[in-house]
Amino acid sequence: MPRMLIADDNRKMTEILAEYARREGYTVDLVYDGQAALNHFKADPADVVLLDVMMPFIDGFTVCREIRRISQVPILMITARNEDRDRIMGLDIGADDYIVKPFSPAEVMARVRAIMRRLDFSNEESDKSGDYNLGSLHINMEKAEVLVDGEEISLTHRERELLWLLASNPERVFSRDELIDRLWGYDYEGDLRTVDSHIKRLRAKLEDLDNKDWSIATVRGQGYKFRVL
């Protein structure tokens, strides 16, 4: 049975979310501050994590960043503030989705299902394609592994999914709308800048490597492509 970790200091809300999650077939662990969330995840990793941004002791952004050091588990951030900079920051540090209070628990579970479907889709595609190799780049989606010149690169599953989609379609231009539909889902209600944020973070992780035979290129006015040099 999949396990969900819910971290929020609003106990009434966490109980409601937990009830909805249990109906979806999850075993649910509840914690009420950031330090407890981090300690619990390290001791007993979950399959998906819901993190409130504003929590006692350690905020959700810090918890997300620390979890990303050790795991690529899907993370959904929850916040009471509907500000672009918070959303962008959450996505930049590795969150997979972002939802603003007030919300319906059913919507949260729909977002979780969408994230897990995309993860399943990624695994299904990897089964079809096997390992992917192009020059210095090696991607194995089933093993959640990306190597450049034999050096393993730590990517979130969304970054890895984005790189795989671009690299497995070399020279094809993907618009931001298409990348949103393919990776986030057609029902995603976030900003197109989410794509730019993920591309920027992906490039930052790859720019210092000696990958002279390929690059992620911006096609002005159109989108992005994987360019073979």
Cα separation values, 120 from 115, 117, 156, 167, Å: 9, 5, 15, 19
User: One-letter amino acid identity for 53?
Assistant: V
The pLDDT of residue 128: 43
Low-confidence ranges of the chain (pLDDT < 50): 121-129, 186
The pLDDT of residue 127: 44
Smallest Cα–Cα separation from 37: which of 20, 10, 18, 58? 58
3-state DSSP helix/strand/coil % of the chain, to nearest 5: 45, 20, 35
The pLDDT of residue 143: 78
**Token pair 């989606």: residue:** 141
Class of domain 3-113: alpha beta
The pLDDT of residue 8: 93
Cα separation values, 37 from 30, 50, 65, 146, Å: 8, 10, 12, 28
The pLDDT of residue 30: 96
Give me the half-sphere count of Cα atoms (radius 13 Å) on the Cβ side of residue 148.
Answer: 18
Cα separation, 50 vs 72, whole angstroms: 14
The pLDDT of residue 126: 45
Cα separation, 178 vs 195, whole angstroms: 10
Structural domain boundaries of the chain?
3-113, 130-228
Classify domain 130-228 by CATH number: 1.10.10.10
